[in-house]
Homo-oligomer: A and B are copies of this chain.
Amino acid sequence: MALLSDLVNLNLSDTTEKIIAEYIWIGGSGMDLRSKARTLPGRVDDPAKLPKWNYDGSSTGQAPGEDSEVILYPQAIFKDPFRRGNNILVMCDAYTPGGEPIPTNKRFEASKIFSNPTVIAEEPWYGIEQEYTLLQKEVNWPIGWPVGGFPGPQGPYYCGIGADKAFGRDIVDSHYKACLYAGINISGINGEVMPGQWEFQVGPVVGIGAGDQLWVARYILERITEIAGVVVSFDPKPIQGDWNGAGAHTNYSTKSMRADGGYQVIKKAIEKMGLRHKEHIAAYGEGNERRLTGKHETADINTFCWGVANRGASIRVGRDTEKEGKGYFEDRRPASNMDPYVVTSMIAQTTILWNP
């Protein structure tokens, strides 16, 4: 019998010009990714040349049943690591038939901020450190953990190796290569402090692209865990007790911060962030209060403080930046389940456009 893998791995370029485009969007919860595929007559490299599409919003909590069409606008194209060949992944955002962004569409507002001439001039760069936890299917307990029990305490797992310290590396490593293949600017990976928890970083990416790339990286990750039979969780504090939470630290710089004298610009920016601490925290992910306790390398959720090389601060500035007098800073507050469109645009807005 032919193997399923022979069919899944068919190289269609041998027989046809047609390609498959997987359209991806964010569903009604703001964290559930959805996708479906369509055939196109030939290769496409420019999102503007892709047809708009639509989906059943009443099945994703985004439209009423009697008026359920939600329109998908293609925004970014990536190579499809699962289908390979000339097949593509397409990151989309969602609109009413009237052309209005639906309420859960956070990209639209972000895009407005990133189109502001003042913001464009500052070329905001983002590097996002996405942490996540891998769970055993059906029991939803972290992989490598004994069901009904706990592994030895944290210590050996951060960047650890070995069958008793690193759980799920095949998922992490295939995700790394798949993202590079797709054209996502994935800059690194590491095993995290809690066993079964990992991190990948996307960046530096300018403006709205950071959100697009992080969402597609999350999509690729969940498609890979689907293959592996494992569940991925973006919950910011998956296990209560002496176990680290999961964040999405967001590294940020503007043209002024990267130029000579940038350190002063950074300090002013951090001041402004401090004045809007409550507003940012409200937008930095659900359940973050379970994670930002002041322990486990976090700052308390009600406190705003910053420091050089201080992992217990809300915002951390690296030693290199301090030494060279220019660089970037790391906002350590966002939770792993944050929406990167919201977080990246809010940081740009507060530091570039907002005045106290």
User: Which residues of A pack against B, CB within 8 Å?
Assistant: 1-10, 12, 15-16, 18, 20, 27, 32-39, 55-56, 58-61, 65-69, 79, 81-83, 97, 137, 155-156, 158-166, 169-171, 173-178, 180-181, 185-191, 193, 219, 222-232, 297, 307, 309-312, 318-319
Contact = CB atoms under 8 A, between A and B. Distances in A.
A97 B320 CA distance: 9
A97 B1 CA distance: 34
Nearest to A311: B68
Contact of A319 (B3, B20, B81, B97): B97
A228 B5 CA distance: 10
B188 A37 contact: yes
A53 to B, nearest CB: 9
Nearest to A80: B2
Contacts of A160: 32, 34
Contacts of A228: 4, 163
Given A8-B1, A58-B311, A68-B309, A34 B161 contact: yes
Interface centre among A9, A161, A187, A224, by most chain B C-beta atoms within 10 angstroms, is: A161
Contacts of A166: 226
Closest 4 CB pairs of A and B: A36-B190, A7-B174, A34-B159, A59-B158
A160 to B, nearest CB: 6
A177 B178 CA distance: 20
A261 B38 CA distance: 28
Contacts of A27: 159
Nearest to A140: B164
Contacts of A174: 4, 7-8, 10
Nearest to A98: B319
Given A5-B3, A9-B6, A169 B226 contact: yes
B188 A12 contact: no
A137 B161 contact: no
A66 B32 contact: no
A171 B4 contact: yes
A193 B59 contact: yes
B156 A82 contact: no
B310 A66 contact: yes
A252 to B, nearest CB: 18
Contacts of A6: 5, 9
A127 to B, nearest CB: 12
29 contacts: A1-B227, A2-B227, A3-B5, A4-B174, A4-B224, A7-B81, A7-B177, A8-B170, A8-B174, A10-B177, A10-B178, A10-B181, A12-B180, A15-B79, A15-B180, A20-B176, A20-B180, A35-B159, A36-B189, A65-B297, A65-B312, A66-B312, A67-B309, A68-B311, A69-B319, A137-B163, A161-B226, A163-B230, A164-B231
Contacts of A159: 27, 34-36, 55, 59-60
